[in-house]
Amino acid sequence: MTQKILNFIDLHKGEENKKSVIENITNAVSFRGSNIWILACAIIIASVGLNVNSTAVIIGAMLISPLMGPIVGAGFGLGMYDFELLKKSIKNLIIATLVSLVTSTLYFYASPFKEAQSELLARTSPNIYDILIAFFGGLVGVIAVTRLEKGNPIPGVAIATALMPPLCTAGYGLALGNYIYFLGAMYLYTINCVFICIATFLIVKYLKYPITKQLDQKHQKRVKYGISILILFLITPSVYFAYQLYNQKSYNSRVEVFLQDEFHNKDYPLIYKKIRYNADPKKIELAFLTKKFDDKEIKDLNKKLINYNLPNTKLIIRQDTVNLRKDIMNQINNNQTAVDQKDILINSLRNQLSQYNFNTNQINNEAKILFPTLTSLKIGNYTIENDATRSKIIPVILFQSTKGLDEATQIKMKMWLKQRLAKDSIEVYQQN
| Inside any domain, residue 305 | no
Supply the range of the domain harboring residue 382. Answer: 360-430
What count of Cα atoms within 13 Å lies in the side-chain half-sphere of residue 116? 17
SS (H, E, C) 83-97: HHHHHHHHHHHHHHH
The domain boundary, picked from 214, 234, 265, lies at 214
Bridge partners, residue 315, by sequence: 284
Mean pLDDT of 293-305: 88
What confidence score (pLDDT) does residue 198 get? 87
Query: What is residue 103's predicted lDDT score, i.e. its pLDDT?
Result: 92
Q: What gap in Å lies between CA 23 and CA 20, rounded to an integer?
A: 5
Report yes or no on 117 lying in a domain: yes
Of residues 384 and 29, the one with the higher pLDDT is: 29
Q: What is the pLDDT, as a whole number, of residue 388?
A: 46
337 vs 318: CA distance, rounded Å: 26
Bond from prior residue into 281 cis (ω within 30 degrees of 0): yes
d(CA 307, CA 298): 15
Task: List pLDDT tens digits, range 203-245.
Answer: 888 888 888 766 667 777 777 777 778 778 777 777 777 787 7
Asked if residue 39 belongs to a domain, the reply is yes
Question: Of all residues in the chain, what percent carry a pLDDT higher than 70?
Answer: 81
Whether 126 and 202 share a structural domain: yes
Is 346 in the same domain as 425?
A: no
Q: Is the pLDDT of residue 18 over 80?
A: yes
Same domain? 426 vs 338? no
- Of 187, 214, 241, the position where a domain reaches its end is 214
The answer as to whether 250 is a domain residue is: no
Q: Between these two residues, 423 and 356, which has the higher pLDDT value? A: 423
Residue 424, domain CATH: 3.30.300.30
For the stretch 77-123, pLDDT in tens is 888 888 888 889 889 999 989 999 999 999 998 888 777 777 777 77
| Domain of residue 156, CATH code | 1.20.1080
Is residue 135 included in any domain, yes or no?
yes
Tell me the whole-structure pTM to 2 decimals: 0.60
Q: What span, in angstroms and rounded, lies between the C-alpha atoms of 29 and 66?
A: 9
Q: How many domains does the chain have?
A: 3
Q: Indicate if the pLDDT at residue 40 is higher than 80.
A: yes
* Residue 30 domain flag: yes
Instruction: Express each pLDDT in 345-399 by its tens digit.
Output: 555 555 554 555 566 778 878 888 888 888 888 787 666 554 444 556 677 888 8
Q: What digits encode the pLDDT tens for the residues 157-203?
A: 555 556 888 888 899 999 998 888 898 889 888 888 888 888 888 88
pLDDT of residue 389: 47
Q: pLDDT: is 149 or 36 the higher one?
A: 36
Q: Is residue 16 part of a domain?
A: yes
188 plus 333 within the same structural domain: no
H runs (alpha helix) in 263-304? 295-304
- 38 assigned to some structural domain: yes
Same domain? 66 vs 33: yes
338 with 424, same domain?
no
64 in Cβ contact with 127 (< 8 Å): no
163 and 131 within one domain: yes
User: Which range is least confidently modeled, 71-85, 169-183, 307-321, 326-340?
Assistant: 326-340
Q: Do both 348 and 366 map to the same domain?
A: no
Average pLDDT over residues 16-43: 83
How confident is the model at residue 105, as a pLDDT?
Answer: 92
Confidence of residue 329 (pLDDT cuts 50, 70, 90): low
Domain-ending residue, one of 167, 185, 214: 214
Predicted confidence at residue 216, as pLDDT, reads 67
Top-confidence residue, 189 or 59: 189
Backbone angles phi, psi at 245, to 5 degrees: -65, -45
Q: What is the C-alpha separation between 171 and 83, in angstroms, rounded?
A: 31
Residues 45 and 125 in one domain: yes
The b-or-e profile of 204-234 (16+ CB within 10 A means b, else e) is beebebeeeeeeeeeeeeeeeeebeeeeeeb
Q: What is the pLDDT of residues 271-283, one digit of tens each?
A: 778 888 878 888 9
Is the domain of 421 the same as that of 344?
no
Question: pLDDT averaged over the chain?
Answer: 78
Range 401-415 average pLDDT:
82
Based on the fold, state whether residues 49 and 142 are members of the same structural domain: yes
Q: Give the model's pLDDT for residue 159.
A: 56
- My answer on whether 331 and 206 are in the same domain is no
Sequential DSSP letters for 240-264:
HHHHHHHHHHHHHHHHHHHHHHHTG
* Of 156 and 28, more confident: 28
